[in-house]
């Protein structure tokens, strides 16, 4: 049998909350230490302990980090799902089973079976108290032996998981060695899969998008964060709190130059963020679908009263509670026109940890320059899965706090008003209480109708003109928003995608002989380049992770003259998108007609 | 000989009381809310407050419109219905050098905004939180609010079907640090309470009964001027003494409770016929419940806790305004990101 080196996926099925995550991460990190880009997808339940969880590790010659829907190695270590896990496996999948469970032989038909008595082996672990958790390390040793991960690399990996805790590393190594020794003595290699050292990693780091976004917020100068716990956005707020205390310098008295408030709900979280933005601090909140829905009314106030803040929406599966621990891109239309009345919110579409950092950092400048809540639209796959990435580069731009109505500015502009467009770009000069001290500047910011001087007004002309100015202001943002990225191909088909769909898209494009052109959206409102891309192609396929083709609809709405060209391919099952889905969608016969 | 034109009286800042006014009120003639605005003006003038250091915060409803009618030199934010507390919290933490005065109503705080009311009391930011309490939704033409008493009929003779909420009792239960109740018609009590509230480092909650002359001032209403005059009781006469002031009234020992506030000012509470110790939460509960059992409405300082830590203190926040921090203060130094990147290397 010819070995297949560094081109397969391992799927590990375990019950949630049993400590298997450590073992899974140890395998992933050992592979990275071997120089492999080892990506992981954690398919976890909305549950603290007991429900099934799957962890999938993938290595490939191209270093692709997208979900591989088919696995070549299976560890069905959850009795609740073993039947299904085996049935869903392709023929010849290498299966490492717990032989103490006495699963019927017929279940393994066509599979390459390795039987390991995990329960019996666990009794060899000397520390009886820690046995239930250390037991999971046995399968690490079995995997290492069967697929050629050196045990010293397992130790090195454990040292990154438990830095400075050599005794803990030793305990874990003992259990891993039990598995390794059993496999060496009892198992005969019958499958072609193996790992070998490679040179894929270089200078790359491993992090998730939420942590990268959190760092972007700190580098962007956030000083007020209010949030309410929600999967999959909690880890973003928690990462802000973890890092900001360490890397934001205290004042000379040793007091903090930031505050974090865990609010009672998302209504309060966005209220606190907007209150802080109104008072002149750089502020944020992070949430997901249900929280975004709750924030609607206050975001409308932010839009209409022109208050800067940054809202992170880490999308999960909707509608309603949906699947809290699965991924989707289904908040696009809601966010674009959030709240009642005529609104249009700018949003950013990061597709990688680096963009998570950069767009997050940039969002504070955009919010303040354009005096509007800016939305950062990530998703669970980017936010919570860990990704290999180039190191995060230092931001190369300085803060832009936009037009502030200082006393000097008010004196210079003889006709200043809080909402007066003196520069013709729709952007007024905003006040900051305590900074704007001019006697004419004091006013009441309100969500009710207001004129250019912020006075209450019910005048039809004043109302329409104000909405028109707001629309002009939002239109003008395209010059500062991240522009789309275009890759020209050699067919008449153009494909549009965004966010995490990009990873599957890149892998699919790489495998296609005749490639369509590809435009990756990175923000809304749409850049003029989006229109010319559609105009340049007879057919445009928008691939995205929601049922209704939300971005396709938004594009048709924005470019009605080109609407007939725009078609839609959608996946909305909640798993990270695979390159296979993208490839199939690009095949004309499989295309979903709009 | 011509007399020089009489100069108006001025305060420590050299400002006249008229400098603390806002725009003309659009409340109904005789509305209790206008009296509360006047009390805010009086207290701010007496204290010599620079209005530019005040943030006027409100929600939605008649009461929430009133920040337009006082302290015209202060910035304000008229937010969404029931959400004043969160906006005020955000504005406060962004710049703790300024003092928020939040104005809300019984609809705004006791119904739609109950969650925010409850949690801001737990959070204890330095601010004054006034609820202009009239038991009725005025702007939507007279529906009952959650503070309307079961026995208090509407103008059309209907009675509320649901139990009323006593906001002071609730605040006591929640551990609020400063709880006062007053009556828009009792300036002598309201103004010193407001001054103490403005001097307090924490959330000072004032539940002010403020009759709605249009929808809830009729016979039988328990939020009417007449009812409050008949059934309002107070155990103490409040007197505020600023740090610079000498006491200009004489008290004999044992006649008063004295509370020294965070800025050195003092609140002197002269005992009347009945007494309780407002620094003792159990005593405050007893006084509130005892009067309620008799159908009385207790006003005055109901509770004060000088030990409670404010949000900014508890969070270890800088005394500087976060809003004025520059890139150099906020963005980590060059090299910090490299170290963080290193931490992500496997």
Decide which of 3.40.50.150, 3.20.20.10, 3.40.1110.10, 3.40.50.970 is the CATH code for A207-389.
3.40.50.970
Reported pTM: 0.97
Question: Quick one: pLDDT at residue A591?
Answer: 45
Instruction: Indicate if the pLDDT at residue B242 is higher than 60.
Output: yes
Beta bridge partners of B93: none
pLDDT of residue A592: 41
Residues of A in contact with B53 (CB under 8 A): 434
DSSP A294-331: HTHHHHHHHHHHT--EEEEEEE-B-STT-BTTS-----
Residue A181 CA to residue A441 CA, distance in Å, equals 78
Q: Which residue of A has its CA nearest to B19?
A: A439
The percentage of chain B sitting over the pLDDT mark of 70, rounded to a whole number, equals 97
**What is the rounded CA–CA span in Å between residue A269 and residue A237?**
12
A vs B, Cβ pairs < 8 A, gives: 231
pLDDT band for position B2 (cuts 50, 70, 90): low
CATH entry, A4-194, from 3.40.1710.10, 3.60.60.10, 2.60.40.10, 3.40.920.10 = 3.40.920.10
A172 in contact with chain B, both atoms CB, cutoff 8 A: no
Rounded Cα gap, residues B212 and B29, in angstroms = 10
Question: Cβ-count burial of A484 within 10 angstroms (0-12 exposed, 13-18 middle, 19+ buried)?
Answer: buried
Give pLDDT < 70 ranges for chain A.
Answer: 588-594
How does pLDDT run across A159-196, given as a tens digit for each residue?
999 999 999 999 999 999 999 999 999 999 999 999 99
Put simply, the answer to whether A434 touches B73 (Cβ < 8 Å) is no
Residue A17, pLDDT score: 85
Q: What does the pLDDT look like over A94-117, one tens digit per residue?
A: 999 999 999 999 999 999 999 999
| Residue A446 to chain B, least CA–CA distance (Å) | 5
Q: Which regions of chain A carry the CATH code 3.40.50.970?
A: 207-389
Quote the ipTM score.
0.97
Percent of chain B predicted with pLDDT > 90? 94
Fold of B17-324: Rossmann fold (3.40.50)
Write out residues 79-118 of A within 8 Å (CB-CB) of B.
none
Residues of chain B positioned with their CB less than 8 A from the CB of A265: 115
Residues of chain A with CATH 3.40.50.920: 485-590
A556: closest CA of chain B, how far (Å): 33
User: With an 8 Å Cβ cutoff, is A224 touching chain B?
Assistant: yes
CATH number of the structural domain A485-590 = 3.40.50.920
**Predicted local confidence at residue A284, as pLDDT:** 98
Q: Which chain A residues contact residue B330 at CB under 8 A?
A: 221-223, 248, 257, 282, 399
Two tokens at A477?
């943002």
**Nearest of A497, A579, A553 to residue A587 by alpha carbon:** A579
Residue of A149, A158, A271 for testing the chain B interface, max B β-carbons within 10 Å = A271
pLDDT of residue A593: 43
Residue A594: the pLDDT is 36
Closest residue to A447, CB basis, from B56, B78, B319: B78
**Closest-CA residue of chain B to A262:** B123
* Confidence at residue B248, expressed as pLDDT on a 0 to 100 scale: 64
Can you read off the two tokens belonging to residue A473?
Answer: 């202001």
Chain B residues in contact with A297 (beta carbon < 8 A): 80
* Whole-number Å distance between alpha carbons of B261 and A184: 76
Chain B nearest-CA residue for A33: B346
Q: How large is the average pLDDT for residues B184-191?
A: 97
Predicted confidence (pLDDT) per residue in A190-234, tens digit: 999 999 999 999 999 999 999 999 999 999 999 999 999 999 999
pLDDT at B249: 66
pLDDT at B8: 83
* B112 to chain A: closest CA residue: A267
Give the 3-state DSSP-derived string for B214-229, with helices as H, strands as E and coil as C: CCCCCCCCCCCHHHHH
């Amino acid at each position: 049998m010819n070995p297949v080196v560094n081109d397969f996926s391992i799927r590990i099925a375990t019950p949630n909350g049993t400590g298997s995550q450590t073992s899974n991460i140890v395998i992933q990190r050992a592979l990275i230490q071997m120089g492999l880009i080892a990506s992981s997808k954690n398919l976890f339940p909305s549950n603290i302990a007991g429900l099934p969880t799957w962890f999938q590790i993938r290595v490939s010659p191209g270093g692709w980090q997208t979900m591989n829907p088919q696995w070549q190695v299976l560890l069905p270590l959850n009795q609740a799902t073993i039947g299904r896990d085996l049935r869903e496996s392709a023929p010849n999948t290498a299966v490492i089973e717990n032989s103490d469970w006495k699963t019927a032989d017929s279940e393994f038909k066509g599979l390459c079976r390795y039987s390991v008595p995990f329960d019996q082996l666990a009794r060899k672990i000397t520390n009886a108290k820690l046995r239930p958790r250390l037991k999971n390390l046995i399968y690490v040793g079995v995997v290492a032996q069967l697929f050629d991960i050196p045990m010293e690399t397992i130790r090195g990996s454990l040292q990154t998981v438990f830095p400075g805790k050599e005794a803990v590393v030793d305990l874990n190594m003992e259990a891993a060695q039990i598995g390794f020794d059993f496999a060496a003595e009892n198992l005969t290699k019958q499958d072609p899969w193996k790992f070998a050292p490679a040179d894929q990693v270089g200078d790359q780091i491993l992090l998730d998008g939420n942590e990268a976004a959190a760092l972007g917020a700190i580098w962007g100068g956030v000083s007020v964060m209010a949030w309410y716990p929600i999967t999959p956005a909690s880890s973003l707020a928690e990462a802000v709190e973890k890092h900001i205390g360490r890397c934001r310098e205290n004042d000379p008295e040793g007091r903090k130059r930031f505050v974090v408030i865990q609010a009672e709900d998302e209504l309060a979280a966005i209220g606190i963020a907007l209150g802080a933005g109104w008072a002149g601090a750089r502020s944020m909140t992070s949430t997901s679908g249900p929280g975004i829905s709750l924030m609607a009314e206050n975001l409308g106030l932010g839009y209409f009263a022109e208050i800067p803040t940054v809202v992170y929406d880490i999308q999960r599966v909707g509608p309603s509670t949906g699947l809290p621990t699965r991924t989707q891109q289904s908040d696009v239309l809601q966010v674009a026109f959030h709240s009642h009345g005529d609104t249009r919110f700018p949003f950013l579409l990061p597709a990688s940890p680096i963009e998570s950092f950069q767009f997050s950092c940039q969002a504070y400048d955009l919010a303040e320059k354009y005096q509007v809540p800016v939305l950062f639209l990530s998703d669970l796959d980017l936010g919570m899965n860990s990704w290999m990435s180039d190191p995060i580069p230092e931001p190369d731009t300085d803060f832009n706090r936009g037009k502030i109505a200082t006393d000097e500015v008010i004196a210079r502009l003889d006709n200043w008003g809080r909402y007066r467009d003196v520069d013709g770009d729709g952007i007024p000069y905003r006040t900051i209480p305590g900074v704007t001290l001019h006697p004419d500047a004091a006013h009441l910011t309100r969500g009710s109708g207001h004129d250019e001087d912020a006075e209450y007004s019910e005048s039809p002309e004043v109302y329409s003109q104000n909405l028109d100015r707001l629309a002009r202001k939002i239109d003008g943002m395209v010059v500062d928003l991240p522009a789309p990225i275009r890759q020209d191909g050699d067919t008449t088909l153009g494909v549009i995608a965004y966010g995490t769909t990009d990873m599957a898209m890149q892998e699919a494009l790489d495998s296609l002989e005749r490639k369509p052109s590809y435009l990756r959206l990175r923000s809304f409102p749409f850049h003029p380049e989006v229109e010319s891309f559609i105009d340049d192609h007879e057919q445009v396929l928008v691939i995205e992770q929601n049922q209704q083709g939300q971005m396709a609809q938004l594009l048709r709405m924005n470019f009605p003259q080109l609407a007939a060209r725009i078609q839609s391919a959608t996946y909305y099952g909640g798993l990270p998108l695979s390159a296979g889905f993208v490839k199939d969608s690009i095949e004309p016969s499989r295309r979903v007609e709009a | 000989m011509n007399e020089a034109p009489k100069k108006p009286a001025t305060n420590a800042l050299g400002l006249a009381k008229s400098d603390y006014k806002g725009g003309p009120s659009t409340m109904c003639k005789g509305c209790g809310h206008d009296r509360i605005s006047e009390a805010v003006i009086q207290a701010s003038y007496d204290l010599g407050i620079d209005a530019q250091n005040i943030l006027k915060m409100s929600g939605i409803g008649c009461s929430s419109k009133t920040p337009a009618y006082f302290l015209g030199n202060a910035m304000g934010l008229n937010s969404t219905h029931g959400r004043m507390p969160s906006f005020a919290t955000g504005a406060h933490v962004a710049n703790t050098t300024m003092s928020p005065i939040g104005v809300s109503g019984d609809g705004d705080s006791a119904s739609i905004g109950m969650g925010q009311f409850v949690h801001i009391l737990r959070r204890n930011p330095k601010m004054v939180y006034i609820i202009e309490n009239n038991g009725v939704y005025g702007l939507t033409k007279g529906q009952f609010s959650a503070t309307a008493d079961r026995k208090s009929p509407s103008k059309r003779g209907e009675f509320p079907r649901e139990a009323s909420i006593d906001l002071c009792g609730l605040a006591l239960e929640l551990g609020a640090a400063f709880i006062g109740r007053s009556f828009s018609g009792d300036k002598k009590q309201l103004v010193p309470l407001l001054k103490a509230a403005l001097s307090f480092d924490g959330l000072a909650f004032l539940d002010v009964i403020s009759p709605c002359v249009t929808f809830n001032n009729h016979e039988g209403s328990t939020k009417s001027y007449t009812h409050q005059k008949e059934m309002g009781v107070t155990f103490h006469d409040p007197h505020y003494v600023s740090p610079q002031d000498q006491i200009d009234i004489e008290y004999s020992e044992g006649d008063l409770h004295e509370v020294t506030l965070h800025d050195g000012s003092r609140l002197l509470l002269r005992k009347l016929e009945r007494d309780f110790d407002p620094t003792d939460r159990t005593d405050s509960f007893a006084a509130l419940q005892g009067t309620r059992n008799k159908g009385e409405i207790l006003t005055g300082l109901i509770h004060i806790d000088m030990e409670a830590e404010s949000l900014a203190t508890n969070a270890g926040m800088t005394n500087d305004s976060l809003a004025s921090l520059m890139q150099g203060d906020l963005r980590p130094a060059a090299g910090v990101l490299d170290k963080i990147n290193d931490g992500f290397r496997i």
